[in-house]
Amino acid sequence: MKPIILIGMGRSGTTIVFEALARHPKVGFFSNYTDKFFKLPQISIVHRFLKFGEKPQGQRTSLFNKFLPKTSEAYYTWSRLCGDKFRFSFMKNIKPTSYEIDKVKSYVSKILYWEGKERFIMKITGPPRLEFLHGIFPDAYFVDIIRDPRAVVASLLNVSFWKQRGLTKPFWENTLDEETMDLWKNKYDSTPESLAALENLEVYKQTNKELKATKANYLRIKYEDFVANPIEQTKIICNFSNLDWSEKIGNYINSKIYKNMNYKYKERLTKEQIRIIEEISAPIINEIGYR
């Protein structure tokens, strides 16, 4: 199948990359329709005839956008295929069963058949689930989108899904070990920004750990590089994943205005909050080159 799997912490820019790549005429994906009509993979045939919608993300969309098929992380679909652990657990040291492998591959094949596509592309955020997904798709191409941790934390604290679940306890089960939880509570006074920074760091560390364990096909793309030159970065992804370049991607990208929104963290966070995030995120800041 050679799927393309986008991973990265939430609010790292995975959506804008996913929406661009999804315009390629050869790729199929799980959509909001897949989530709503899981038992009817045939519904994916609408992808052949309807224009793709877009995730609003604070910008204006057409009146009919909410009815159009859109790229989706499709966690309801994944829960039906692999259980709630895929959605709510950090998925450390969890490998797929033979039953899960067959079930996922069969369902993806049906989606591609009804969409009339050759390659599968998907996106998930938070826990990399790289080892689990590599067990299902050993020929997959993993593209990791990474962003300045200060901007990631500031954005997480500002979105509804994180406010509902991630301010007072880890967003996923088994994210932080006991020692890190004590650090959060005692050194950082259980503050939301320190928790988000610790979880973002754990995603980074776990990705590196699972990459080493699997030796999967892997490419890291910086959000900052993508918004600065989306055509160039998307071509890098296509070349890495053996997907020929399509002008449909180029036309879509040229119709959009991409802005580096990292400056917002300085507006949303206090100097003390920024200091704490930088202290926690030092491994990412130093290794990736964020200053």
The model's pLDDT over 134-154, given as tens digits with 9 standing for 90+, comes to: 999 999 999 999 999 999 999
Helix or strand run (H / E) with residue 219? strand 217-222
pLDDT tens readout for residues 232-268: 999 999 999 999 999 999 999 999 999 999 999 999 9
> How many residues make up the chain in this entry?
291
Residue range 22-37: mean pLDDT, rounded: 95
Residue range 57-84: mean pLDDT, rounded: 81
Query: 106 pLDDT exceeds 90?
Result: yes
Residue range 48-66: mean pLDDT, rounded: 67
d(C-alpha 157, C-alpha 13), whole Å = 16
Residue range 47-61: mean pLDDT, rounded: 69
Q: What is the pLDDT of residue 157?
A: 98
16-19, long-range: CB < 8 A, 24+ apart: 16/226, 16/227, 16/230, 16/256, 16/258, 17/143, 17/145, 17/221, 17/226, 17/233, 17/234, 17/237, 18/71, 18/121, 18/123, 19/52, 19/54, 19/55, 19/71, 19/252
Query: 45 pLDDT exceeds 70?
Result: yes
pTM of the model: 0.95
Q: What is the pLDDT of residue 26?
A: 97
Q: Compute the mean pLDDT over every residue in the chain, rounded to the nearest whole number.
A: 95
pLDDT tens readout for residues 73-105: 999 999 999 999 999 999 999 999 999 999 999
Q: What is the pLDDT of residue 103?
A: 98
Q: Give the number of other CB atoms < 10 A from CB of residue 109.
A: 13
Query: 57 pLDDT exceeds 70?
Result: no
Helix or strand run (H / E) with residue 132? helix 130-136
Strand partners, 121: 4
Residue range 12-35: mean pLDDT, rounded: 96
Q: Where are the alpha helices (DSSP H) in 157-270?
A: 160-165, 178-186, 192-214, 223-228, 230-240, 247-254, 264-268
pLDDT-based confidence at 1, cuts 50/70/90? confident
Query: 53 pLDDT exceeds 80?
Result: no
Residue range 59-64: mean pLDDT, rounded: 57
Q: What is the pLDDT of residue 68?
A: 86
Domain boundaries, the chain: 4-289
Q: What is the pLDDT of residue 59?
A: 53
Please provide the CATH number assigned to the domain covering 4-289. Answer: 3.40.50.300
Query: 177 pLDDT exceeds 80?
Result: yes
pLDDT-based confidence at 60, cuts 50/70/90? low
Q: What is the pLDDT of residue 110?
A: 98
